[in-house]
Amino acid sequence: MKRFLQWLLAPIRMTWLQPFYEKLYLFTIYAMNYGGGSFTDDSGEKNVIQYVARKTADQPEPVVVFDVGANVGSYARMVLNGLGNRAMIHCFEPSQATYQTLKTNVPEPNVKKHNLGLSDQAGELALYTDAAQSGMTSVYQRDLQHINVSFAQNEVAVFSTVDEFSAAQNIRQIDLLKIDVEGHELAVLKGARQMIDEQRIRFIQFEFGGTSIDSRTYFRDFWRLLSPNYTLYRIVGNGLRRIDAYSEFLEIFVTVNFLAERK
């Protein structure tokens, strides 16, 4: 059978067809929303918030949202638009200057702003950036020479963990844990291991892409950590695409967001 497939495919593996396949590949991954995860308005995240809103419609308590990597507040504003006063949002932004802008942009009392990052352990970490209040600020000094971007600026920031912060604030359940921290997403999840194991986080949204190259993180790492307790989806333009099994074909390092829903 294998030899038959090799014979069947041989004519279409010709060198002269490769430029066509490369363009077709790019078209296909963009159609799958790879590359669209960086732009909040077009990433499909609004639909996720609507999905969470429907799933929590009968919940008498506030919908607790952790916005990890809040930047200047665009995602928090989207949550407010989708959930209104039902939401209790905790925004985590470790960069001092960006945090000041965040406070101005989302002054609502049900949005708690914390000049704090989240990781797998508490302490201090360097933050590297290409520009003031950049959305690409990361704990990794990213190598983006191929697009002429340099992460020469840095500051020291304070970090905690989801588990420690939740215990200190007496937060029993997180309804939506959104993580957009430029490659440090897996570390944030490791710092939430107790709450994950105790099934006290209902939805987890995380970004995966080029920043994962710098942190040496694979989608397999997320799958192994989350799939025992969660159903995973790729977030697309108008909804969710369920992922039923791990495959190396999921290791596409172009930015997209995923949603994990507690089973």
Number of domains in the chain: 1
177 — phi, psi (to 5°)? Answer: -105, 105
Look up the CATH number of the domain holding residue 246.
3.40.50.150
222 within domain boundaries:
yes
5 within domain boundaries:
no
13 within domain boundaries:
no
248 within domain boundaries:
yes
58 within domain boundaries:
yes
42 within domain boundaries:
yes
- In terms of residue numbers, what domain contains 166? 31-262
94 within domain boundaries:
yes
219 — phi, psi (to 5°)? Answer: -60, -30
The side-by-side arrangement of strands in the sheet containing 153-160 is: 117-118, 153-160, 123-129
Q: At what angle do helices 74-83 and 45-55 cross, to 10 degrees?
A: 40
Q: Decide: 28 and 20 in contact? Cβ < 8 Å.
A: no
SS3 125: strand
Per-residue pLDDT of the chain (263 residues; tens, 9 = 90+): 667 777 777 788 889 999 999 999 999 999 999 998 777 777 889 999 999 999 999 999 999 999 999 999 999 999 999 999 999 999 999 999 999 999 999 999 999 999 999 999 999 999 988 888 888 888 888 888 887 877 778 899 999 999 999 999 999 999 999 999 999 999 999 999 999 999 999 999 999 999 999 999 999 999 999 999 999 999 998 899 999 999 999 999 999 999 999 99
Dihedral, CA of residue 74, residue 210, residue 52 and residue 193, to nearest 10: -110
245 within domain boundaries:
yes
52 — phi, psi (to 5°)? Answer: -65, -40
